[in-house]
């Protein structure tokens, strides 16, 4: 199950108190894992594979939460509200803002050769 499908499943079934608890436990573990730069990079790369800007920004928001929104916003020289707005579903960060934010989170943007699709 893809990350997006898992999130949708957890969101849709979140009315069940048990699911709320499971969602909270999952979220806590996710945020804890994303504090590791290698985990954060893998998470962002998986989000990029989805091809959706909203999914990528949601993943970046999770990483920002793992690093601490206030701490990250200070490092990136952004006010917290601008950071939240930039990482919202309707956010459209400039490349300079995105690279700055990634750098402050211990990550960087990279380009790779696309592999041909197998038929």
CA angle, corner 88, sides to 77 and 102, nearest 5? 45
24/101: higher pLDDT: 101
* Cα–Cα distance list, 74 to 10, 47, 66 (Å): 32, 25, 15
Of the candidates 42, 43, 32, the residue with the CA atom closest to the CA atom of residue 68: 32
How many distinct structural domains can be found in the chain? 1
pLDDT, average across residues 58-87: 93
Q: Is residue 21 part of a domain?
A: no
The H-assigned helical ranges of the chain are 3-12, 17-33, 37-50, 53-67, 69-75, 80-86, 95-104
pLDDT reading at 83 higher than 80: yes
Q: Indicate the pLDDT class of residue 9, thresholds 50, 70 and 90.
A: low
Q: Is residue 114 part of a domain?
A: no
Predicted TM-score (pTM) of the model is 0.74
Query: Quick one: pLDDT at residue 114?
Result: 82
Q: Is 65 helix (H, G, I), strand (E, B) or coil?
A: helix
pLDDT reading at 24 higher than 90: no
Residue ranges making up the domain that contains 62: 34-104
Q: Is residue 23 part of a domain?
A: no
Residues composing the chain: 119
């Amino acid at each position: 199950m893809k990350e997006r499908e898992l999130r949708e499943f957890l969101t849709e079934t979140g009315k069940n108190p048990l699911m709320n608890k499971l969602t909270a436990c999952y979220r806590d573990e996710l945020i804890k894992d994303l504090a590791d730069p290698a985990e954060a990079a893998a998470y962002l790369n998986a989000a990029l594979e989805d091809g959706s800007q909203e999914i990528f920004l949601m993943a970046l928001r999770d990483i920002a939460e793992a690093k601490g929104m206030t701490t990250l916003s200070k490092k990136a020289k952004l006010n917290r509200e601008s950071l939240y707005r930039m990482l919202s579903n309707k956010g459209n960060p400039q490349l300079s803002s995105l690279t700055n934010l990634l750098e402050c989170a211990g990550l960087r943007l990279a380009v790779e050769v696309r592999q041909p699709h197998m038929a």
